[in-house]
Amino acid sequence: MMEPSRLKTNDGLVRLNSNENAYGPSTRVVDAIKSSIGGAHRYPRGEYDSLTERIASTHNVKAEQVLLGCGSTEILRMAAFAFLGAGKQLIQASPTFEAMERYARASDSGVKSVRLTPAFSHDLGGMLAQSTASTTLVYVCNPNNPTASLTPRKDLETFIGKLHGDTVVIIDEAYHHYAGESGAYASFIDHPIDDERVIVARTFSKVYGLAGLRLGYAVAAPKVVQRMRKFATEDNINAVVSQAAMAALNDSDGLNKSIERNMDDRQEFFNAALARMLKPIDSHANFVMMNVLHPATGVIQLFRERNILIGRPFPPLDTYIRVSLGLPDEMQAFWRAWDGLPYSKDLMSH
């Protein structure tokens, strides 16, 4: 089957900055998008229920356990407004994906950020030490953005068991499909624990290549779903993405291809990095973070001047850059630009 052609933006920028899927959705999904356009004038009511059912059956859970969102960021927002608020506290890692903190602050909640361990996993002991009776939500991003690193499953289970009884834990599995067979990782949807305080967030933006259409979901206990649903935008999924998601869930070949391609591209990136004496953090995602031993803000700017966008600064990792995996020619452009930077020579002699 022919790959659908990707719309090249005419600004000439290489976008390695948002952990998107550079290849976009599979051909079958593109076909579903095209044929769904005819329903664009209708509210997506029927689609909401059928997609909820489809996701529930994919995960072997009840439909009451599934909550759809306009991207998984809407799931994070619903969790913030359902479980946080003035006098309450969110605990998260630092650095991690920033949306949860933003929504926590919008709900007037306090936020405690606990630095990742030297191995870039969540410092669960440190997070537990910060937890009090007012800690009503903990955010765990696994694999973590921006570091692409894992927090071991068994440590997470012990951690959840020790948290205060009223503390809800949201596990953001946006990069689940890229975590692979690592023994340290197991999804809390595929391998649930018997604990109604656990919410898992997933997205169609990454492995399925649908970031531009906005769809995410949560799997949680029915009463947790009900509580979060109150904060959902009315008709928060659109008529196009619901058809696209159905096709994506029925296209296991497309899914496997997307996963395998990312593994190959990630290996290529590591080969190129190691050849340049760079030592990226082991990646379990579709992006890579690495210490370039120079302030990230300056490096980002130098790439920008060469029309390449890489990830934003992620303090306190001030000398690390985050690079999303792009198409092969985009990665070549990245390494050409890298080789033209003064840093590349310094690192070679390190």
Ligand X SMILES: Cc1ncc(COP(=O)(O)O)c(C=O)c1O
φ, ψ for residue 203 (rounded to 5)?
Answer: -140, 155
By beta-carbon proximity to ligand X, the closer residue of 172 and 265 is 172
By beta-carbon proximity to ligand X, the closer residue of 18 and 132 is 18
Residues 70 and 214 sit within 8 Å (Cβ to Cβ)? yes
DSSP assignment of 18-79? S---TT-S-HHHHHHHHHHGGGTTS-SHHHHHHHHHHHHHHHT--GGGEEEESSHHHHHHHH
Q: Taking CB under 6 A as the rule, which mask of x and - marks residues 115-144 in contact with ligand X?
A: --------------------------x---
Q: Binding to ligand X by residue 24, rule CB under 6 A?
A: no
d(CA 109, CA 92): 13
By beta-carbon proximity to ligand X, the closer residue of 25 and 302 is 25
Taking CB under 6 A as the binding criterion, the range among 54-62, 67-75, 246-254, 322-330 that sits at the site for ligand X is 67-75
Q: Taking CB under 6 A as the rule, which mask of x and - marks residues 278-307 in contact with ligand X?
A: ------------------------------
By beta-carbon proximity to ligand X, the closer residue of 203 and 283 is 203
Label residue 173 exposed, middle or buried (CB < 10 Å: 0-12, 13-18, 19+): buried
Closest distance of CB 147 from ligand X, Å: 11
Q: Binding to ligand X by residue 187, rule CB under 6 A?
A: no
d(CA 348, CA 350): 6
Residues 71 and 216 sit within 8 Å (Cβ to Cβ)? yes
Closest distance of CB 38 from ligand X, Å: 26
d(CA 325, CA 322): 10
Q: Binding to ligand X by residue 247, rule CB under 6 A?
A: no
Q: Binding to ligand X by residue 97, rule CB under 6 A?
A: yes
Choosing from 17, 203, 242, 258, the residue that interacts with ligand X (CB under 6 A) is: 203
Q: Which residues bind ligand X (CB under 6 A)?
A: 19, 71-73, 97, 141, 145, 172, 174, 203, 205, 211, 216
